[in-house]
Each structure stands twice: as structure tokens, then as C-alpha cells.
């Protein structure tokens, strides 16, 4: 291997458990973890703060060009910054969650963030999660996983996650929001949520987080030994 490790792409619909599993796997292999959804959320947060219309592509691209989105290690979650402002919690609030599909459908936003994500992944040793990592951002990633789970299971998982963050949204609302985001993420014109041809599909509905992480770790180990 000439890089510092493999590129691992984990894609799938909202609340399939991607980020939890990606973090565990990254820690096990001493890889960097990159949450690309957080980058789309960060520019959405910025657009809401600035009061820019969510379909004003030129204005949002200008905002994006003027900001640095960066991650810092943190417990229990990685910290996210827009320039010097910490937005870790703000980007998980319902206003951002409900607006992010619209902003992430903008072509100028996608190409800029895709470019930034490729730079982050360039040296290898990375676990990157999102919707289009295996299909568009890192088409040559050595490991591609597509994680799915039923809508009911994903709504339950989000409920638990939210409770831990002090966010109180009823289960029925979460289920509706997940279905809506699935629909928008899968039907947008550019880089829709889609399984890459060479991705391994994992249905995690009745698997624990540990089981999913163990399965992905096995796949990475197999690939790492092939690359040596
Ligand atoms: O994973 P998440 O729920 O934090 O992602 C937030 C939104 O960002 C999601 O609705 C779709 C979008 N997204 C995307 O379009 N492409 C990615 N690679 C990651 C997220």
C-alpha cells in the first residue's frame, strides 16, 4: 500500500447508523473519520443564519466559498466548526435537518463539497460516510458499503440518538421526516442516493451496531491483506 491506509466509503439512507458504525471502524483501524452529511448540514446552517433563500444557488455557493468547515475530535461526538463557530449541536436541529435536502441538491454546493471531500480522503486511511461516496466522491475506494435498514428501525434509532442530545421530536414525526429525506435524497438530479455497483449491501435492521462494525472490519481486513 502506498497510502496511509484504505479509502472506506459507507453510504446509505438517513439514520441507517452509518456515522456510529463509521466512527467505530475508523477508531479500530486508526483511520480518519469524515462525516460528509455534517458538511452539507454546515452550509445549510450558514445559509439559514445568513437568511439566504434556499434555492439561491449563487448566493449559497458564495457563502460556501467564504467558509472553512472543519472537524475536531470530541466526545461523545466529533466537533464541527464553521470558521471559528462550533456548530456541532446546531446542525442537528430540526430547522437544519428539514432544509438540508434542498441545499444538498444544488449542483454548485455538491461539486465544491465533493472536491473538499476528495482532498480529505486523498492520503487514504479514511472512513467517509454519506450518500454518494462510493458512487461519485471516491469511485476508486477499496471498500464500499451500502447500509440500509427499515424506516421503522431508523426512526427508533434517531429517537434514541435525539434523546441523548436532548432533542425531543415524536416518533411519528421522525418517521415522516426520514421518509421525506429518503424521497428527496433518492430523486434529486445530481448524485442521488444510490448503491454503487461494486458496493456491499448490508441490511442492518436486525443487527446490532457491534455486529455491523465487526462485519465491516472483516471486509477491511480482507482488503488490507490483499493490498499488502
Ligand atoms: O447523513 P445526514 O443525515 O447528516 O445527511 C444530511 C443530508 O445531507 C442528507 O439529507 C443528504 C445530504 N447528503 C448528501 O447529499 N450527500 C452526502 N454525501 C451526505 C449527505
Q: Per residue in 186-207, pLDDT tens?
A: 998 888 898 999 999 999 999 9
**Mutation to probe ligand 1, out of 131, 136, 145, 193 (largest number of atoms < 8 A from CB):** 131
- Label residue 2 by pLDDT band (50, 70, 90): low
Predicted TM-score (pTM) of the model is: 0.92
Q: Per residue in 56-67, pLDDT tens?
A: 999 999 999 999
Across all residues in the chain, what is the average pLDDT?
A: 94
Enumerate the domain spans of the chain.
7-223
pLDDT recorded at residue 145: 98
Ligand 1 center–CA 220 separation, angstroms: 24
pLDDT recorded at residue 76: 76
Say which residues have a Cβ less than 8 Å from residue 193's Cβ, sequence separation at least 6: 11, 12, 13, 131, 132, 182, 185, 186
H-run or E-run covering 81: strand 79-82
Instruction: Compute how many other C-beta atoms are within 10 angstroms of the C-beta atom of residue 150.
Output: 13
DSSP state of 36: H
Are 103 and 43 within 8 A, CB to CB? yes
- Does domain 7-223 fall under CATH 3.40.50.720? My reply is no
Q: First and final CA of the chain: distance in angstroms?
A: 6
Is the CB–ligand 1 distance for residue 92 below 6 Å? no
Q: Which of 102, 96, 217 is nearest to 167 (CA)?
A: 96
Ligand 1, residue 104: give the atom nearest the CA: 15
| For residues 139-155, average pLDDT | 97
Is the CB–ligand 1 distance for residue 181 below 6 Å? yes
- Label residue 15 by pLDDT band (50, 70, 90): confident
pLDDT recorded at residue 71: 94
Which residue's alpha carbon is nearest to atom 5 within ligand 1? 37
Q: Per residue in 54-109, pLDDT tens?
A: 999 999 999 999 999 999 988 878 899 999 999 999 999 989 998 999 999 999 99
Ligand 1, residue 181: give the atom nearest the CA: 10
Amino acid at each position: 500500500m502506498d497510502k496511509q491506509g484504505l479509502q472506506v466509503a459507507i453510504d446509505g439512507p438517513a439514520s441507517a447508523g452509518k456515522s456510529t458504525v463509521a466512527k467505530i471502524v475508523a477508531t479500530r483501524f486508526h483511520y480518519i473519520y469524515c462525516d460528509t452529511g455534517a458538511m452539507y448540514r454546515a452550509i445549510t446552517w450558514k445559509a439559514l443564519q445568513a437568511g439566504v433563500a434556499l434555492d439561491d444557488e449563487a448566493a449559497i455557493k458564495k457563502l460556501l466559498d467564504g467558509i472553512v468547515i472543519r472537524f475536531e475530535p470530541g466526545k461523545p461526538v466529533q466537533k464541527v466548526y464553521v470558521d471559528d463557530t462550533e456548530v456541532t449541536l446546531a446542525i442537528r436541529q430540526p430547522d437544519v435537518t428539514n432544509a438540508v435536502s434542498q441545499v444538498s441538491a444544488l449542483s454548485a454546493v455538491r461539486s465544491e463539497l465533493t472536491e473538499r471531500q476528495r482532498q480529505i480522503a486523498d492520503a487514504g486511511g479514511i472512513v467517509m460516510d454519506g450518500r454518494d461516496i462510493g458512487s461519485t466522491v471516491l469511485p476508486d475506494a477499496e471498500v464500499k458499503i451500502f447500509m440500509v435498514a427499515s424506516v421503522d428501525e431508523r426512526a427508533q434509532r434517531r429517537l434514541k440518538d435525539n434523546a441523548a442530545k436532548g432533542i425531543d421530536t415524536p416518533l411519528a414525526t421522525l418517521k415522516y421526516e426520514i421518509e421525506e429525506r429518503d424521497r428527496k435524497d433518492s430523486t434529486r438530479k445530481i448524485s442521488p442516493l444510490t448503491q454503487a455497483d461494486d458496493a456491499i449491501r448490508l441490511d442492518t435492521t436486525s443487527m446490532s451496531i457491534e455486529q455491523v462494525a465487526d462485519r465491516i472490519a472483516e471486509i477491511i481486513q480482507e482488503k488490507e491483506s490483499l493490498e499488502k
